[in-house]
């Protein structure tokens, strides 16, 4: 069995998958390179949606219904902001705000985003190694018929209703991987690309040149799980973004985006017809249930990914 894995992750889809993975592997053996492209500054605070979604989920405190935020949180601070006439479209709960205040304070005191994330994880009792993809800034800008905007503005403030024309990765050229990221790819016995948005979650991670290079060079097997099922998304705007970029919304399109990196691609059983076409891209394709409704589904999918990474398995 695979011993040490490194995962590439966005928010909600990845968090569900990782809930299964931590039931199989010791947390200490898992490194997660997480997207920080959704990071946003609001009220002078540094918000890191994807790292927080992973942290809260794995710590068992996430609002399960939404997939983000903290369970039973209150919104007193946000209500007060509203009284002061501030914009409150991004729903930050009181407990969640504590994370952002502490993160911002640590960043101000000279800690890097990677160090801050480590501190937060430790305080929440986590032993997984969550590494922001970069300590720098890569903010994908969504170019729409309404203008260019931050991803959260496109998704939350404007409800993903604008026509997407392009996605621009500002800052990607000059971004460096967070210390430990490249080593985690080189030392892993297998790499998993979680079922996350390929454009704005995995896209920004792969836009960091050295990360993409390390993934190409690693001798460990790389498996990806399709976030696209039956020509649509389970959650989030991946379909709209893919369409905006001129891509067909299919598991095949996701495999095509990752083709230079992958050994194995897991697609949903409803998309079995795409299997052969995907294998012609030069990777093994496995059709299985990828919808994670229960904990058993999550564990089963994680086990399938681990088995697919095991070089002794085939
Ligand atoms: N998503 C929403 O749809 N509405 C929100 O108001 C919202 C607030 C929020 C606050 C903290 C956080 O960590 C995540 C939050 N999200 C919210 C989720 C987030 O917008 C996206 O799902 C991720 O950025 C995509 O992975």
37/205 Cα distance (integer angstroms): 8
Whether 153 and 298 share a structural domain: no
Map tokens 């404007």 to a residue: 158
Q: Ligand 1 centre from 49 Cα, in Å?
A: 6
207 CB-contact burial (10 Å; exposed 0-12 / middle 13-18 / buried 19+): buried
User: 229, 220, 294, 297: which is closest to 263 by C-alpha?
Assistant: 220
Tell me the pLDDT tens digit for each residue of 62-71. 999 999 999 9
| pLDDT recorded at residue 1 | 77
Q: Ligand 1 within 6 A of 50 CB?
A: yes
Whether 179 and 273 share a structural domain: yes
Whether 214 and 120 share a structural domain: yes
Report the pLDDT averaged over residues 13-42.
97
Whether 64 and 93 share a structural domain: yes
Whether 262 and 162 share a structural domain: no
Give me the number of domains the chain comprises.
2
Report the pLDDT averaged over residues 192-209.
96
Whether 278 and 146 share a structural domain: no
Q: Ligand 1 within 6 A of 153 CB?
A: no
Whether 160 and 111 share a structural domain: no
Is position 314 within any domain? Answer: no
What value does the mean pLDDT of the chain take? 96
CATH number of 234's domain:
3.40.50.10680
Identify the residue with better confidence: 140 or 56: 56
In this structure, the residue with its CA closest to atom 21 of ligand 1 is 49
Report the pLDDT averaged over residues 256-262.
97
Pocket test for ligand 1, best of 8, 10, 49 (most atoms within 8 A of CB): 49
Q: Quote the pTM value.
A: 0.97
157/161 Cα distance (integer angstroms): 10
Report the pLDDT averaged over residues 276-300.
97
Is pLDDT above 50 for 314?
A: no
Whether 244 and 279 share a structural domain: yes
Is pLDDT above 50 for 195?
A: yes
Whether 75 and 157 share a structural domain: no
85/183 Cα distance (integer angstroms): 47
Whether 161 and 118 share a structural domain: no
| pLDDT recorded at residue 313 | 54
Confidence band for 170, pLDDT divided at 50, 70 and 90: confident
262/138 Cα distance (integer angstroms): 24
Is position 204 within any domain? Answer: yes
Whether 54 and 24 share a structural domain: yes
Report the pLDDT averaged over residues 34-43.
97
Is pLDDT above 80 for 181?
A: yes
Which residues partner with 31 through β-bridges?
A: 6, 129
Whether 166 and 176 share a structural domain: no
Q: Ligand 1 within 6 A of 39 CB?
A: no
Which percentage of the chain shows pLDDT scores above 90?
93
| pLDDT recorded at residue 125 | 98
Tell me the pLDDT tens digit for each residue of 121-154. 999 999 999 999 999 988 889 999 999 999 999 9
Domain holding 80, by residue range, is 5-137+171-309
| pLDDT recorded at residue 311 | 66
Q: Ligand 1 within 6 A of 90 CB?
A: yes
Report the pLDDT averaged over residues 246-270.
97
Per-residue tokens: 264: 């194995």
Domain end (from 125, 150, 170): 170
């Amino acid at each position: 069995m695979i011993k040490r894995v490194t995962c590439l992750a966005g928010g909600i889809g990845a968090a569900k998958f990782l809930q299964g993975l931590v039931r199989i592997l010791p947390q200490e053996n898992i490194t997660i390179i997480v997207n920080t492209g959704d990071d946003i500054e609001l009220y002078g605070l540094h918000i890191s949606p994807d790292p927080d979604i992973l942290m809260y989920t794995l710590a068992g405190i996430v609002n399960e219904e939404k997939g983000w935020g903290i369970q039973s949180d209150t919104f007193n601070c946000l209500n007060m902001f509203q009284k002061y006439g501030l914009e409150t479209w991004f729903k930050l709960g009181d407990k969640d705000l504590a994370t952002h205040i502490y993160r911002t304070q640590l960043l101000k005191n000279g800690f890097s985003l990677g160090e801050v994330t480590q501190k937060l994880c430790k305080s929440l009792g986590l032993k997984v190694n969550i590494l922001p993809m970069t300590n720098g800034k890569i903010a994908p800008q969504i170019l729409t018929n309404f203008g260019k905007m931050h991803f959260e503005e496109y998704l939350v403030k404007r409800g993903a209703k604008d026509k997407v024309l392009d996605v621009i990765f500002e800052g990607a050229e000059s971004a460096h991987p967070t210390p430990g990221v490249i080593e985690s790819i080189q030392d892993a016995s297998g790499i998993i690309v979680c079922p996350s948005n390929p454009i704005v979650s995995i896209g920004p991670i792969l836009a960091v040149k050295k990360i993409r290079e390390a993934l190409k060079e690693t001798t460990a097997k790389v498996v990806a799980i399709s976030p696209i099922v039956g020509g649509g998304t389970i959650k989030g705007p991946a379909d709209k973004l893919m369409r905006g970029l001129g891509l067909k919304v299919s598991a095949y399109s996701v495999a095509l985006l990752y083709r230079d990196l992958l050994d194995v691609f897991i697609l949903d059983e409803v998309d079995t017809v795409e299997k052969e076409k995907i294998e012609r891209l030069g990777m093994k394709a496995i059709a299985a249930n990828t919808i994670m409704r229960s904990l058993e589904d999550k564990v089963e999918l994680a086990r399938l990914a681990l088995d697919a990474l095991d070089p002794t398995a085939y």
